[in-house]
Amino acid sequence: MIATKRALVLAVGAAAALAVVPASTRAQTYQPGYNPGYNANNGQFQNPNSPDARFIRQAQITSEFERQAAQLGAQRAQNPQLRQMSQQILDQQVGRQQTLRNLAQAQNLPEGQPLPPYLSQELSTLDQQQGPAFDQELAKSFLRVNSHALRELQQSQPQLQDPQVQQFAQRMQQRHQQRLQQAGMIAQNVGLNQNTIGSYMNQVPGAQNTPGQYQNQFGGNSYNQQPAGPGYPR
């Protein structure tokens, strides 16, 4: 009887103590398992819709699309420069995806993101092409994804908070700038319409003036600005 009363007193006391803790604090108490936004590095909860989280999710999607497109390119591209670019992307994906997994885990975000339907459709369209048409479609995909990634980076970088995310974003900006320039050179070589090339290059301020790092490696002149064509709708 005494033990029962003591247990009852302890239970009432615990409930009373919990009642004075703000609900927001109780909701953010870490529990084993999936806690969206919980940062394992500093033991604090982060907003899963914060600029850092949105950037990580977008980078995961970009990385996965590039990986799948590059796999097709490494297997089926006829243009040797395009095959080489595809293989370079695949080689670099190992380290990039591991870094993204680490960043996602640190903020307790999913380790990967499914491709949105329009990107899955783009890959399906690419897979249906053959010969020169495949090379042109792949070059256009590389132009689009790197142009889009650079625009996203320009918008999100000033808002990023986590130093590791900031460092990764800086590296990715350099990488996407190089790939956009590389894709522009290759797109000309595979006969992609100049207005189409210009429509992607013109979406990134200063892209046309980036030094042609790939001129000696891939031949030809650095990309010159062309009149803008219809932009990619997404």
Boundaries of every domain in the chain: 48-218
- Mean residue pLDDT of the chain comes to 76
178-196 as b/e: b if 16+ CB within 10 A: ebbbbbbbbbbbbebeeeb
Q: Are 136 and 197 in contact (CB under 8 A)?
A: no
Across the range 29-53, mean pLDDT stands at: 52
Across the range 139-148, mean pLDDT stands at: 96
Across the range 126-134, mean pLDDT stands at: 97
Name the percent of the chain lying above pLDDT 90: 58
| Confidence category of residue 46, pLDDT binned at 50, 70, 90 | low
pLDDT at 20 over 80: no
Name the percent of the chain lying above pLDDT 70: 67
The token pair that represents 177 in the structure block? 């700038």
Q: Which contacts of 154-157 are long-range, i.e. CB under 8 A and separated by 24 or more positions?
A: 154/204, 154/205, 156/51, 156/54, 156/55, 156/58
Q: Are 191 and 136 in contact (CB under 8 A)?
A: yes
Determine the Cα–Cα distance for residues 167 and 64; give it in Å rounded to an integer.
20
pLDDT at 225 over 70: no
Considering 68-82, 104-118, 195-209, the range whose residues carry the highest mean pLDDT is 68-82
Across the range 9-36, mean pLDDT stands at: 39
Q: Which CATH superfamily is domain 48-218 in?
A: Ferritin, core subunit, four-helix bundle (1.20.1260.10)
| Confidence category of residue 78, pLDDT binned at 50, 70, 90 | very high
pLDDT of res. 160: 95
